[in-house]
Chain A
Amino acid sequence: MGSIPDTTNDPSFEVPDLTSKAISGNRAIFGKVLTVISGICVALLIVPLSLLLINIFDKGLSRMTPELFTELPPPPGLTEGGIGHAIIGSVMTLAIGAAVSFPFGVLAAIYLAEFGRGTRIAYLVKFSANVLTGVPAILCGLFAYSVVVIPLGYFSAFSGGIALGVLMLPIVIRSTEESLLLVPLEMRQAAIGIGATRFQTIMKITLPAALPAIVTGLVLALARAAGEAAPLLFTAFNNSFWSTDPRGPIATLPVLIYFFSIIPYKAQQELAWAAALVLIVIVLISSLLGRMFIRSRRI
């Protein structure tokens, strides 16, 4: 179809047509169809995502009052109330999880990036951390249940924190290691060159240089753990009242959403939507900040 342009003026000189018009009909249609299909694929992802966000803001915003953060949920049948106890519970379990996994993970990552680079141990630890990232979150809950809840004999905020800590650990190890690897080798060599020991080099040079990236990784790990309900179902369990006792069961936002969405009381369901909005805003803001930071860092 017009693949050879009009060159009647000079029959010996034929200019091949390299434009897309030269491609035969079938091949062009094949390409067009696939382009449309790939566009539809993107729409199949974006449309549900936008709907989800619209629905959550739509249903959650009406309960966005100060009481939401300061009050207990109402008894069945009544309205009003809030989810203050679950916010405190989430903060507590996350803090316990962070206290367990952050020092552990950061120090382990220091070994991987600074001492054991390229060794067999480092490979095995990284392999195990990668596999651990893929282990279902609910198994972290079963683990914490059998390690903490069974020996102690009761559900507790502490065991929930342990479950979240196990969940965060591989993320902390991997993100910290990657942050440390971003620090140029020359900085370490310069430090060693002026007589610093390895400890001084790591503490005074490498860690401070990598700190912003490490903190980003830690925040992303927290954001991930903040949304997990499964490991908390049988560790922190649930609680309908104010509690700041790490040795007792405690309410958390994700578990509250789960329980309130499967009971037939309107006020509780509204609170579940409001809790979902709080949770999604926290998670999205922290992961947005984290990603923006990672992006700006790489360029």
Chain B
Amino acid sequence: MTSGTDRDFASSGKSLDIYKRASTARILDLGFWGLTLSLALGGGAVLIWIILQTAIAGWPAMQLFGLRFLITASWDPVNNIYGVLPQIYGTLVTTAIALIVAIPVGIGTAVFLTEDFVPKFIRTPIAFAIELIVAIPSVVLGIWGIFVLIPTLRPFFRFLNSSLGWLPFFGGGAPRGNNLFLVGLVLALMITPVIASLTRSTFEVLPSELRQGSLALGATRWETIVRVMIPAGLSGIISSIMLAMGRAMGETMVAAMLVGNANRINASILQPGSTITGLIASQFGEAGRTQVAALMYAGVVLMILSLLVNIFAELIIRRYQNIER
């Protein structure tokens, strides 16, 4: 029967075809694997590249000024003397003000949204609105700050200054509106949603036995929140605060537009100041060669500050997630 040999031929041809396809498919597979792997490695390396590139660009200034850069309070393009002490001070003060406001408000909001104080059809839109704040571009908050917030808050700043001016951090001349306190408040508005939403998700993943046990022992709802939920979720809350802190330190436009960019250290938070980000944003446009290097050096300082905060937050989250599982 010839048909048998025909079939043999056909099947052998087919199997050959399959082998052929399999080998090209394997090459394609390997190639794809290699491509995605190298891009994944590249994605991981971008962080290192950013750090290196900024450090290289700032290297001339690092050699020139060394660590004195951190304790010099002068930004003098004429004599080429640069230092970022006022900026470091301003960054830390505005971040601290933002955190002092944002931590209690954020945690309070998170509790309000987890507990059923109000019905769900009110809570859900509130939660939604709060998440929207995160999406608002900071430059929009900046223009709002300049034209609405400053005129609105100026009487309040003046009142603080005249009634509590004997306290060093409310002292100085009559506040004009651009100051560290204002920046701190706007930063607080930006980072409170971060703390609120992350703290809320921390509360949501806590085992419900914790809450039930506490309630069963006779604790009230608030005693349960204060003595059980918050301590149990503390690592999650701390990491949310760290992330918010990183956000506040790195925020540029709000600082550049509202801080007043005064290159001096004021004990009073009602006086204009400067932040690292504000300095870079406002000086870069007309910077000469050494000044660009100095600004890059300032960028490196900012990078180190924010990396420390971010890595710390990331490690807490990892540890915390491991406990959850």
Q: Which residues of A contact B (CB under 8 A)?
A: 20, 23, 27-28, 30-31, 34-35, 37-42, 44-46, 48-49, 51-52, 55-56, 59, 104-105, 107-112, 114-116, 121-122, 124-125, 127-132, 134-140, 142-143, 145-147, 150, 166, 169-170, 173, 197-200, 202, 223-224, 226-230, 233-234, 237, 254, 257-258, 261-262, 269, 272-273, 276, 279-280, 283-284, 287-288, 291
Contacts and interface: CB of A to CB of B under 8 A. Distances in A.
A230 B284 CA distance: 11
Nearest to B218: A23
Contacts of B131: 291
B137 A261 contact: no
B141 interface: yes
What are the 5 A-B residue pairs with the smallest beta carbon separation, nearest first? A136-B250, A227-B137, A41-B108, A111-B36, A230-B252
Contacts of B40: 107-109, 111-112, 116, 121-122, 125
A160 to B, nearest CB: 14
A137 B246 CA distance: 11
B294 to A, nearest CB: 12
B121 to A, nearest CB: 15
B112 A42 contact: yes
A291 B197 CA distance: 14
A131 B139 contact: no
Given A110-B36, A284-B135, A42 B126 contact: yes
Contact of B313 (A134, A170, A254, A258): A134
A206 to B, nearest CB: 12
B303 interface: yes
Contacts of B164: none
B196 interface: yes
Contacts of B285: 233-234, 237
B193 to A, nearest CB: 7
A142 B135 contact: no
Contacts of B53: 143, 146-147
Most chain A CB inside 10 Å of its own CB: which residue of B106, B196, B220, B295: B220
A130 B47 CA distance: 10
Contact of A136 (B104, B130, B141, B277): B277
A284 B132 contact: yes
B128 interface: yes
A258 B252 CA distance: 11
B44 A125 contact: yes
Most chain A CB inside 10 Å of its own CB: which residue of B43, B57, B105, B135: B43
Contacts of A31: 220-223
Interface string B240-252: 0001001101111
Contacts of B259: none
Interface in B181-214: 189, 192-193, 196
